[in-house]
Structure 1
Amino acid sequence: HTDPARLLSGELVYTGALRTPAEAVVAQVPLWGGSAGVSADGFALIGDAHLWRGRLSSVDYTCPTPDGRPPTREFAGERLARTVCADREMLDDAALDAIAGALADAQVRTVAAALRRIVERWPVITTAVVAGLGDFIADEAASTVRLHTVRLADRLGASARTAPAAAVAWLLWYSLETGG
């Protein structure tokens, strides 16, 4: 199986806790009682939404930020404001909470929709093992489709963060060994 084949079958959702551009997650976000379009100019990443909401720490934010400034909550707020072509001074914390929440919720819905397709195809699946930096996304999505979740971090601690990379390496090895 290749990544394009997995994308086609719905087995792969290419989204992550850090680098996914905000505009790849949503087209509109709540703003001042309405719904504003999102600038498709790479001003913020999903990691900024998760950092703003406290789901990720500055230490977790291991990729470059879109504006080159540090991965702090303060600067994440500025980047999120830019998604609606605003400056931080124009938006209060509640507005940024709404923008970050819309991004995070849409990401969970996307993952949940893929899980739903998989469970419909293979109804015997009742458990999702979640791991990695974005395990909280997978955990919430799995709960949405009523899957029992096992958080690898609860069993392996911090080393569970690298489990997705190890799984991909194993898939490659298996594919090479079996020819398929």
Structure 2
Amino acid sequence: MKIKEKYRVGWDVGGAHLKAVMLDAGHHVLQVIQLPCPLWLGMEQLSLAVDRALVEMRQPQAHHAVTMTGELADLFRNRRHGVTAIATLMAEKLGPETYFYAGADGFVLLPQVDDCHDRIASANWHASVAWVARNLEQGLFIDIGSTTSDLIILSDGRPRNRGFSDAERMRNDELVYTGVVRTPIMALTGTIDFRGYEYRIAAEHFATTADIYRITGELMETEDMAATADGAEKSVEASMRRLARMLGHDYEDAGHADWVALAQSFRATQLAQLQEAINGLLARGQLTADAPLVAAGAGSFLVQELAAHLQRDCLQAESLIAAESNELRHWAGVCFPAYAVSCLMPEGGT
């Protein structure tokens, strides 16, 4: 099957967001779209998000490739059900020649999806690393997203993952369920120091990591798409109020500087989680001392700090991207799996 269309679009269907990156024939980024898509509320959420994205693209003559992680949403009875449901909807929206990324097996069309469901499920990280491997001999690829973080060793121009499924990667330090937007604060630590006292934090969904990074000023408003834990506004003060609840406090119980310090303390616990996983990967001895960390995702700013701690260079994945503007380049880095799958899409037959 020969791709004759001028444009190529890569899609990353997540459980909370839909991402799409459009390229021209020379693999230059023309458009990046990220939309909220709370898939656990029903497939109509994905249907509406795809329709909206297609309207924003205004380019019907594009060829499409899809990767996904949304099959893990509890809307589906199992991952196989999720993969086939998502793929069926995407093929209905994008056309029967839509490709689906199946990891090391490459791309398949809808009739092959069910047979390949275990390779299609949550393979977006593999697309990212496979594309980086075409441009970099070695490094530790780290994509910190809104919900999860992917950490994959790249050596001799190849991904060196020990796991492929979510379960396999979670037990091999290659998938850490922590991100900079949706992660509940209670998942970061059981205790925290605040104003000279140690607190056991509430096991309640009172606040998320987005509250931390609003307070520290590191989360861009355009990347802050998830609802807040209490449904209230996303201001710094409202974020401090939510963090206060984690300790049984009201916002009025302490000063602005105290809540900033608390946010920084929670930030440190998240960095510690990531550092622990990185240490496990580096202990494999597959990377030289000068191998860089490669940063992608909405939380790429954290990778810079992790690299500095390890005394390693930090290469922003967006620096490998050809785009018409720095803004497009940045957004393609945030939506890196969608960008990668659009680049990897075959030029010839399946």
| Fold match (TM-score > 0.5) | yes
| 2:248 corresponds to 1:85 | yes
Question: In the TM superposition, what whole-angstrom CA distance separates every residue of 1:82-128 from its partner, at most 9, and x where no partner exists?
Answer: 11111111121122122101111111111111111111113425111
| 2:181 corresponds to 1:38 | no
CA distance in 1, matches of 2:220, 2:251: 20
User: Do the aligned residues in 2 keep the contact of 1:109 with 1:141 (CA within 8 Å)?
Assistant: no
Q: Alignment length, in residue pairs?
A: 170
Assess, with a 3 A threshold, how the Cα gap between structure 1 residues 17 and 165 changes in structure 2: closer, same or farther. Answer: farther
Partner of 2:264: 101
Partner of 1:145: 310
Which of 100, 110, 121 is 2:284 aligned to? 121
CA distance in 2, matches of 1:165, 1:30: 39
Deviation at 1:144, TM superposition (A): 2.0
Partner of 1:178: none
Partner of 1:163: 336
Deviation at 1:166, TM superposition (A): 5.1
SS in 1 for 2:227: coil
Q: Which amino acid aligns with 2:258?
A: A
SS in 2 for 1:36: strand
Deviation at 1:81, TM superposition (A): 0.8
The 10-residue stretch of structure 1 (145-154 or 87-96) with the greater mean CA deviation from structure 2: 145-154
Partner of 1:176: none
Assess, with a 3 A threshold, how the Cα gap between structure 1 residues 116 and 147 changes in structure 2: closer, same or farther. Answer: farther
User: Do the aligned residues in 2 keep the contact of 1:18 with 1:61 (CA within 8 Å)?
Assistant: yes
User: Do the aligned residues in 1 keep the contact of 2:244 with 2:259 (CA within 8 Å)?
Assistant: yes
CA distance in 1, matches of 2:255, 2:337: 37
- What root-mean-square deviation, in Å, do the aligned CA atoms of Structure 1 and Structure 2 show? 2.0
Q: Which amino acid aligns with 1:127?
A: P
Structure having the higher Rg = 2
- After TM superposition, the score normalised by the length of structure 2 is 0.46
CA distance in 1, matches of 2:250, 2:195: 14
Assess, with a 3 A threshold, how the Cα gap between structure 1 residues 95 and 41 changes in structure 2: closer, same or farther. Answer: same
**Unmatched segments (≥5 aa) in structure 2:** 1-163, 321-328, 346-350
- After TM superposition, the score normalised by the length of structure 1 is 0.85
Question: In the TM superposition, what whole-angstrom CA distance separates every residue of 1:42-67 from its partner, at most 9, and x where no partner exists?
Answer: 10101101111111134331101000
Which of 259, 275, 290 is 1:112 aligned to? 275
**Unmatched segments (≥5 aa) in structure 1:** 174-180
Partner of 1:17: 180
Partner of 1:63: 226
SS in 2 for 1:130: strand
Q: In proportion to residue count, which structure has more strand?
A: 2
Q: Identity of counterpart residues, as a percentage?
A: 26
Assess, with a 3 A threshold, how the Cα gap between structure 1 residues 82 and 18 changes in structure 2: closer, same or farther. Answer: same
Question: In the TM superposition, what whole-angstrom CA distance separates every residue of 1:126-165 from its partner, at most 9, and x where no partner exists?
Answer: 1111011111122222332233210124553222110145
Partner of 1:5: 168
